[in-house]
Amino acid sequence: MKKLTVYQLLSLALPVQILLVKIISYFPELIEHYYSNGLFPYISVFFRTIYGWIPFSIGDISYAIISVGFIIFSYRFIKNKLKNRKQQFFKLVAYLSLFYFIFHLFWGLNYYRTSLFKTLNIEEKEYTLNELIILTDTLLLKLKQTQLVLVTNDTVKVTIPYSRKALLNKTKLGYDMLAKEYPQYHYTKPSLKPSLFSLPLTYMGFAGYFNPLSSEAQVDILAPKINLPMTCSHELAHQLGFASESETNFIGFLAATKHKDAYFKYSGYLMAIRYSIGSIRYKDSTLAKKYFLKLPKGIHKNIKESDEFWKSYHNQAEPYFKFFYDNYLKANQQKEGIQSYSKMVNLLIAYQKEHEL
């Protein structure tokens, strides 16, 4: 009997891994206890300790190497035509198998952890229009109050005076405040960096991302500064083991709005009210327009500034990147795909019933 090669063994391991992950996904409490709150924090802190002090993203470099390697492999595969096709096939599947293992060990199992509704002991249900109105009124009041702390009157847009690097460095302070109320969100060994691919990232329409291979959080350093505090807070939540985009947005919102710095608070409330008004639009478009008109002129200017920035980079390829990411989310327990971001509104409403926003 012919002995199997390493590539063949790794290839055979791929369907076994997929089956095991599928089985494990039915036990979110076990994943929550033994992985998300057990093994993963050690993995994440380990990589953040190793890479956190380096000013550029090691994860971005690893992505570049993987991309170049894939291009070389594809070129050789095509060049060789029918020669060694079987061997090349097993080699490709073996690399996929190895990547699948590393991805789930270092990060991916977090997609199957217990819902934040359960861990925070808040009710999960479909919200009514009236509940949405109460939330939006609260956010509008908070946003206007924070705006007037930062500017002389409400017709003036908020301009953040800090450098982008300073904003990245300040982000952790919001989690220091949040951890006083929720110790599980204690954050150490920061590893939040500007993306080396900020320009292509902007064209793709993304403000930031988490690298599961290095536990680094990267942000689009070209994006408007008014959005950056919330984006940074969002990405740090990923480093704490939260994979769901709606949950990560929610935790990022809590960290930003509990920050001592009013610029972080403003960024958090600005993002949240856009989500809440957007949710009202699905139920009552006329009411949504009324709420949008209630926003002071200065806030409108900040929204316009952000929207115009992203529109200036809009291109024909962007929908394809969004389509890819949408299906990536759907393949990892987020049935709504990119729309799962809007599920944050459910968390805000449920949380508001028990706590002050």
Closest CA to 117 of 229, 40, 28, 210: 28
The H or E element that residue 88 is part of is helix 85-106
90 pLDDT more than 60 = yes
Residues 276-299 as b or e (16 or more Cβ within 10 Å = b): bbebbeeeeeebbeebbeebbebb
Q: How would you class 158 by CB atoms within 10 Å of its CB: exposed for 0-12, middle for 13-18, buried for 19 or more?
A: buried
Neighbouring residues of 193: CB distance < 8 A, sequence distance ≥ 6: 55, 56, 57, 168, 216, 217, 218, 219
The string of pLDDT tens digits covering residues 18-64 is: 999 999 999 999 999 999 999 999 999 999 999 999 999 998 999 88
Closest CA to 55 of 282, 218, 295, 257: 218
Q: Considering the entire predicted model, what is its pTM? A: 0.90
Q: Where are the domains of the chain?
A: 6-112, 116-352
Going by the DSSP 8-state scheme, the letter that residue 221 receives in this structure is T
In this predicted structure, what is the pLDDT of residue 325?
A: 42
- The tokens describing 19, both together, are 């089956």
Q: In the chain, pLDDT over 90 holds for what percent of residues?
A: 72
In this predicted structure, what is the pLDDT of residue 335?
A: 57
- Residue 357: which pLDDT band, with cuts at 50, 70 and 90? confident
Q: With beta carbons less than 8 A apart as the criterion, state whether 147 and 291 touch.
A: no
In this predicted structure, what is the pLDDT of residue 329?
A: 47
| Higher per-residue pLDDT: 204 or 339 | 204
In this predicted structure, what is the pLDDT of residue 79?
A: 74
- Residue 339: which pLDDT band, with cuts at 50, 70 and 90? low
| Higher per-residue pLDDT: 339 or 260 | 260
- Residue 322: which pLDDT band, with cuts at 50, 70 and 90? very low
Torsion of CA 253, 256, 259, 262, to 10 degrees: -120
Q: With beta carbons less than 8 A apart as the criterion, state whether 203 and 315 touch.
A: yes
Q: What is the average pLDDT across 276-280?
A: 91
CA distance 37 to 241: 8
101 pLDDT more than 70 = yes
Radius of gyration over every alpha carbon of the chain, rounded to an integer in angstroms:
22
